[in-house]
Structure 1
Amino acid sequence: MSEIPSSLPASSWFTHPGARNWSCPPVRDDVPGFHASLPDYAPTPLTELPSLAAELNVGRVFVKDESSRLGLPAFKALGASWAVHRTLAERTERQGDGPPVTLVAATDGNHGRAVARVARRLGQRAHVFVPQGVHPTAVAAISAEQARVTEVAGHYDEAIRQAADAVASAPDAILVQDTAWPGYERIPAWIVEGYSTLFTEVDAQLAAANVELPDLVVVPAGVGSLAQAAVIHYRSRPADSVPAALLAVEPDTAAGVLASLTHQEPRTVPTGKTTMTGLNCGTPSALAWPYLRDGLDAAIAVTDAEGARAARDLAALGVSAGPCGAASLAGVRAALTGDDADDRRASLALGPASTLVLLSTEGAAANPQYLDHRS
């Protein structure tokens, strides 16, 4: 294994002691059944890695490996497929069968490709806006799904703005975005619902490993929609169950969730270059924010070097992970080791028998920039 960082700046860590006392309603229960009906559906692996448990001084560590999800190398297809299904079903109820629509999205790579794949399979069109810094191979993969691609000379938030403007001027276009703002919440909420299948799978896989509930779940955070799904899943459980702690991980160059939690209000941070391209988002989703504020136990920011080191170590253990997916390992390493680690462990209620679940949200193939760097 690679060397573990020995210290963590205070500005890179946030904790909320009351998060496990907060609760919320669950999502609807028909989402996993929808995904199971898709022809290329299969649960992704939950792989136990005893060497990581020994390194982190906990009982068991499992990695949820999203390197192959519905034919794509990241988890995003869960949200895109459910949201498009709901969107088109409601449109048909209102208008009946009609000509194809254009599904529009902004993306750092994986979400846009997922929307484009769903559009192609359903006979719809797709138009995807891509900010600067996304690798040409990732852009080509979106184009290969027969999507129109517009490359934006700006950051992710600017790509979202242009995508929304394009929909406003095209009556046959529908924005399918995984971040929300006032007045645009319905489709992002469906995307979050789609992610719930991932956690339903984790429940079943842990039960098969004789684990009722993990003690800590670690989630990479871009705009925060997957972290929102994690909060809803684990904060809507029966009151007599022992709640799981939830840790969000971001790049230190795009830590919008951490900044917002630190200031207790939504903040936009300037974003820089990062190999964690799928997490290079400066503004938390307005829909996710209340759930993150109230239901996350902690948030942490990690460097590109820490993410790359975690990806290499996961690869050596048989798990394909790009830096976004490996951010979970990088984050939990930073949280549970080094200066003040005992205090951080205590804030997460972790001990030597604890069970951890790390969400590896993308495979190495989802991040060509990382593959270039690695080679």
Structure 2
Amino acid sequence: MDQETASVPASAPSDSWYARPAARSWTCAPPPPDAWNFHTALPGYAPTTLHDLPSLAAEFGVARVFVKDESTRFGLPAFKALGASWAIDRIVARHAEDSAEAGSSGTPLRLVTATDGNHGRAVARLARRLGRRALVFVPDGVHPSAVAAIEGEGAEVTAVPGSYDAAVRRAAQAATEPDSVLVQDMAWDGYEEIPTLIVEGYATLFTEVDAQLGAAGAPPPALVAVPVGVGSLAQAAVTHYRGRSTPDAARGDAPSAVLSVEPVTAAGVLASLRAGELTSVPTGVTTMAGLNCGTPSALAWPVLRDGLDAAVAVTDAATARAARDLAELGVSSGPCGAASLAGVRAALIGGGAAERRAALGVGSGSTLVLVSTEGADANPQA
């Protein structure tokens, strides 16, 4: 079999799957521990729950399935505060140092961002706690209650006709105004430093998973499924699992595979992998609003190109079913968070599943980790 495959789940469109088993031989430097040390020292820090779900293990024919539940991260219903908190801490500290060197108290920074919901609320919450202003741009399709939640954190919200990419462009423009700074997890040429900090912040999630699996007596995961918007969380996952110490061969450990999951209406990472270059795709309407991004982050792309094992695109119907199933199992998950379960179902079940399972290195003794990035209340739908 070629190292690159294009087998297709029976229920998905013909271009919904990509795998590259050779990615597991790629390595990189591990993420620095600074963000982990910062997060664990914050008041109220606690690892989010890792649910052990035997019924899903039986469904997938594997040893164990865990769901990392990000519905209660730092009092917010999504994982985004991990990246935003670390980046904003570094931004504010640097601003204070620059002001001190200039011999002035400095003008408080205005934090600017674009969002499909959760990232903007995290930036707004942190700005409020630090006594800073926040300006948040939102594209079409963001639910009014999500906008209200951002405004409830004290931020100024500006609606942008068009896509998430259009909102990012407006935010970048606004951030050029005096005493403003852009806090975006999407990178492009000339804007890499802050997205790098955000990705470093996301690494805390996977460090927690390592400790929680160890406490549960489980080996490192054979497969980790991550919902994808611009790809920054997937970048953090790949960096974590490709940068960690060599798996223990004596225990039978093998390198973990990372699977990205996107909406069929906004599968920019999948399209880029298939094209072999960073590619933008037009976006459509999806309940997975937080994943409705047509252009992958330029910072994430080289890491995903070389180190991501597989990508799959899923439908709104598939994520709706997954969210209902997770709710019955006691896991609060919105459409974006439930995408990981929908993606694993598309990869491991149905026509051609044997080939896809082989590409991912998943067998009957495997442990799987599904990242549920948001709670059911994080991304309300009409």
**Smaller-chain TM-score bracket:** over 0.9
Check whether the contact 1:60–1:355 (CA below 8 A) recurs between aligned residues: yes
Match of 2:361 among 336, 349, 369: 349
Deviation at 1:107, TM superposition (A): 0.1
**Partner AA of 1:143 in structure 2:** E
2:316 is matched with 304
2:74 is matched with 70
Check whether the contact 1:102–1:124 (CA below 8 A) recurs between aligned residues: yes
Match of 2:13 among 9, 17, 23: 9
Check whether the contact 1:40–1:71 (CA below 8 A) recurs between aligned residues: no
1:335 is matched with 347
> Cα RMSD over matched residues?
1.0
| CA distance 1:323–1:310, change in 2 (3 Å) | same
1:238 is matched with 245
Deviation at 1:100, TM superposition (A): 1.3
**Partner AA of 2:321 in structure 1:** R
2:6 is matched with none
277-286 vs 211-220, greater mean Cα deviation = 211-220
* 1:11 partner SS: coil
Please list, as runs of the form range in 1=range in 2, the aligned pairs for 1:1-375 lying within 5 A after superposition: 6-96=10-100, 97-168=105-176, 170-241=177-248, 242-369=254-381, 372=382
Cα distance in 2, alignment partners of residues 256 and 8 from structure 1: 16
Cα distance in 2, alignment partners of residues 23 and 9 from structure 1: 32
* 1:54 partner SS: helix
Cα distance in 1, alignment partners of residues 215 and 310 from structure 2: 28
Check whether the contact 1:8–1:338 (CA below 8 A) recurs between aligned residues: no
Deviation at 1:240, TM superposition (A): 4.8
Check whether the contact 2:12–2:314 (CA below 8 A) recurs between aligned residues: no
Cα distance in 2, alignment partners of residues 105 and 40 from structure 1: 25
Deviation at 1:33, TM superposition (A): 1.8
**Partner AA of 1:227 in structure 2:** A
* 1:365 partner SS: coil
Identity, % of aligned pairs?
A: 68
Cα distance in 2, alignment partners of residues 172 and 344 from structure 1: 50
Cα distance in 2, alignment partners of residues 114 and 198 from structure 1: 16
Check whether the contact 1:218–1:332 (CA below 8 A) recurs between aligned residues: yes
* 2:15 partner SS: helix
* 1:10 partner SS: coil
Check whether the contact 2:10–2:352 (CA below 8 A) recurs between aligned residues: no
68-77 vs 7-16, greater mean Cα deviation = 7-16
**Partner AA of 1:189 in structure 2:** T
Cα distance in 2, alignment partners of residues 250 and 8 from structure 1: 12
Gaps of 5+ in 1: none
Q: How many residues align?
A: 365
* 1:192 partner SS: helix
Deviation at 1:41, TM superposition (A): 1.5
Check whether the contact 2:65–2:369 (CA below 8 A) recurs between aligned residues: yes
**Partner AA of 2:174 in structure 1:** A
**Partner AA of 1:13 in structure 2:** W
